[in-house]
Amino acid sequence: MNDRIVFHIDVNSAYLSWEAAYNLQMGSNLDLREVPSIVGGDQEKRHGIVLAKSIPAKKYGIRTGETVYSALEKCPQLIVVEPHYERYMKASKAMVDFLSDYSPNIQRYSIDEVFLDYSNGNLPYMEAAQKMKEGIKKELGFTVNIGIGPNKLLAKMASDFTKPDKIHTLFYNEIAEKMWPLPVEDLFMIGHRTKKKLNSRGIFTIGELAHLDKNYVYSWLKKPGLLIWEYANGIESSDVKSDKSKVKSIGNSTTLPFDVTTKDEALKVILGISEMVGMRLRELNMRAHVISVSLKTSEFFSYSHQKKLHIPTSSTNTIYKTASTLFEEMWDYNPLRCFSISLSSLLDEDFIQLSLFEDFNEKDILLDKSIDHIRTKFGQDSVIRSSFLYSGIDPIIGGVVAEENYPMMSSYL
Amino acid sequence: MKIVMKPIEMIAWFNNTNHPIPLRFRIESEDKTSSVVKIDKIIFKEEEKIAGNKMVIYRCEGIIDDLKRIFELKYELTTCKWFLFKI
């Protein structure tokens, strides 16, 4: 265990690099990476936030997550490109395929980040990293940062040092020199609020956190505190998991191009999302115990309610019924811009524990099965509920990439 | 050669090796007249997968307006579309 070598491969401004590479392939003579440009949502549909930026755009002070509108204010000649998630899936897959020539132990951490265990590799690790980086640049047309460390945490910290197109190492003997002088918020798992807490007690660098007494940290921040204290000292021992971890929850959300003010419209949106989450749940052959609905008002205030069912369900109708009761319970008639439904406490579909207190309709299963069957065969719009006709609301709502499991970031290594 | 990247209509030959072989294509010029170009020779072909998108590039020779010209064609595998890439 002591001489593990873990690589963390991180695509430099992923969405933007992929857009740029694709455009060059399609004959464009402008490399988006060399001019101020961003990948951002459609402002008309109010999805207008910056998803990725080029390095020249960074110089104008544009940050990921701010609105496209404010980015354009900072830099009027900024080029805005719309996101194409299916292209990103393709690029990400190609990168994983390329890397699997080097090691079978690969964990896809998110769409643009990969952990790779190179402990048993047959090349010296620096040479291997060099080859991967150059190979990806030449074959796939985008640049990556590679961090090398004895565990996943240090590898991830290392890949973040300086960008783009670089290789960094961070072994135990380098922690004091390379990681400890960094500001404490650069440490993995430390967000905005933890930073505030730490700063309030005079802790500004990772080194200062690492040198605290363990018991003191525990008495102050409890268990999460211990975790970040360990991280600050470079202690982390999770495996590079090559198999897909089990799905723990399924959710979809949508931000509408207009504010919803009537109950009728709101319920239609909820029905549309129910269709989507229900379909995804059934595709995994699972059932959900808990259904939760959250709403965001036009003033960006959000609230949510959830309910645990007696009988775990996978039926669109039950999801919709529960979600709409939850909705009616909490809605205070403020205009709404964003809806989401998520299903959790997922169970396998093998058997169901029935309950005396809830109805169970076996016909629902058959109905959903037939609808799913028709939809996979003839397309998602082949059968829709008539209530959606002329409503201006999509009959099936949500999904970054409808047919694929889009790997999202998680806070677990 | 200059990059043009225009979609073209193509007649190609699919044999039992891996990539299709372009035979002749039709291209529309700005004045809406179309002309057909026969591919006399494929000088080389290579596969690229920039950003994970597979394309085959062919450098070809053919006669355009009574002149022997060298040009490059691209075939996008996912969409089965042909392009005049460079001329």
CB contact under 8 A, B52 and A139: no
Tell me, what's the ipTM? Answer: 0.81
What tokens were used for A56? 């020249």
Residue B7 has pLDDT above 60, yes or no: yes
**Tell me: the pLDDT tens digits for A200-233?**
888 888 888 888 888 888 888 888 888 889 998 9
What tokens were used for A103? 């090691």
Residue A326 has pLDDT above 90, yes or no: yes
Q: Beta strand A37-40 with A79-81: parallel, antiparallel or unpaired?
A: parallel
CB contact under 8 A, A25 and B48: yes
Q: Taking CB atoms and an 8 Å cutoff, what residues of chain A touch B4?
A: 27
Q: Answer with the residue of higher pLDDT: B42 or A404.
A: B42
Find the residue in B nearest to A89 (Cα): B52
What does the alpha-carbon distance between residue A309 and residue A293 come to, in Å, rounded to a whole number? 14
Count the neighbouring beta carbons within 10 Å of the beta carbon of residue A87: 17
Are A226 and A253 within one domain?
no
Amino acid at A319: I
CB contact under 8 A, A27 and B85: yes
For residue B71, give every residue at least 6 positions away whose Cβ sits within 8 Å of its Cβ, in sequence order, or none: B1, B59, B60, B62, B64, B84, B85, B86, B87
| Per-residue model confidence (pLDDT) at position A404 | 42
Q: A155: domain CATH number?
A: 3.30.70.270
Mutation for testing the A interface, residue in B2, B5, B50 having most A CBs under 10 Å: B50
Q: A277: domain CATH number?
A: 3.30.1490.100
CB contact under 8 A, A95 and B85: no
- Among A84, A107, A128, identify where a domain stops: A84
Interface of A with B (CB under 8 A): 17-18, 21-22, 24-29, 87, 90-95, 139-142
User: Which of A12-21, A167-176, A376-385 shows the lowest per-residue confidence on average (mean pLDDT)?
Assistant: A376-385
Across the interface, which of A26, A87, A139 has its CB nearest the CB of B49? A139
Mutation for testing the A interface, residue in B53, B54, B72 having most A CBs under 10 Å: B53
Q: Taking CB atoms and an 8 Å cutoff, what residues of chain B touch A95?
A: 52
Interface of B with A (CB under 8 A): 3-5, 48-53, 55, 83, 85
A303 occurs within a structural domain: yes
What does the alpha-carbon distance between residue B6 and residue A255 come to, in Å, rounded to a whole number? 37
What does the alpha-carbon distance between residue B24 and residue B16 come to, in Å, rounded to a whole number? 19
- Contact call for residues B3 and B73 (beta carbons, < 8 A): no
Residue A291 has pLDDT above 90, yes or no: yes
Residue A402 has pLDDT above 50, yes or no: no
- The whole-number average pLDDT for the span A252-259 is 86
Are A264 and A366 within one domain?
yes
CB contact under 8 A, B53 and A29: no
**Tell me: the pLDDT tens digits for A105-151?**
888 888 889 999 998 888 888 999 999 999 999 999 999 999 999 99
- The whole-number average pLDDT for the span A259-268 is 90
Contacts by A373-377 with C-beta closer than 8 Å and gap 24+? A375/A279
Cα–Cα nearest to A134, from A176, A175, A167: A167
Residue A123 DSSP class: S
Q: Taking CB atoms and an 8 Å cutoff, what residues of chain B touch A91?
A: 51-53
Are A267 and A382 within one domain?
yes
- Quick one: pLDDT band at residue A1, thresholds 50, 70, 90? very low
Q: A221: domain CATH number?
A: 1.10.150.20
A307 occurs within a structural domain: yes
Q: What is the pTM of this model?
A: 0.73
- The whole-number average pLDDT for the span A242-268 is 82
Are A284 and A370 within one domain?
yes
To the nearest whole percent, how much of chain B has pLDDT over 90? 53
Strand runs (DSSP E) across chain B, as ranges? 3-13, 21-28, 34-48, 55-64, 67-76, 81-86
Write out the catalytic residue numbers of A. 113
Residue B22 has pLDDT above 90, yes or no: yes
A406 occurs within a structural domain: no
Average pLDDT of chain B, as a whole number = 89
- Among A34, A54, A84, identify where a domain stops: A84
Residue A360 has pLDDT above 60, yes or no: yes
Q: How many domains does chain A have?
A: 4
A292 occurs within a structural domain: yes
Are A254 and A376 within one domain?
yes
Are A377 and A260 within one domain?
yes
Are A254 and A377 within one domain?
yes
Distance from CA of A110 to the nearest CA of B (A): 16
Residue A403 has pLDDT above 50, yes or no: no
Cα–Cα nearest to A13, from A43, A34, A42, A29: A34
Q: Which domain holds residue A21?
A: 16-84
**Residue ranges of the domains in chain B?**
3-86
Distance from CA of A235 to the nearest CA of B (A): 35
Find the residue in A nearest to B47 (Cα): A139
Average pLDDT of chain A, as a whole number = 86
CB contact under 8 A, A27 and B51: no
Residue A408 has pLDDT above 60, yes or no: no
Cα–Cα nearest to B45, from B77, B79, B9: B77
- Quick one: pLDDT band at residue A244, thresholds 50, 70, 90? low
Are A223 and A302 within one domain?
no
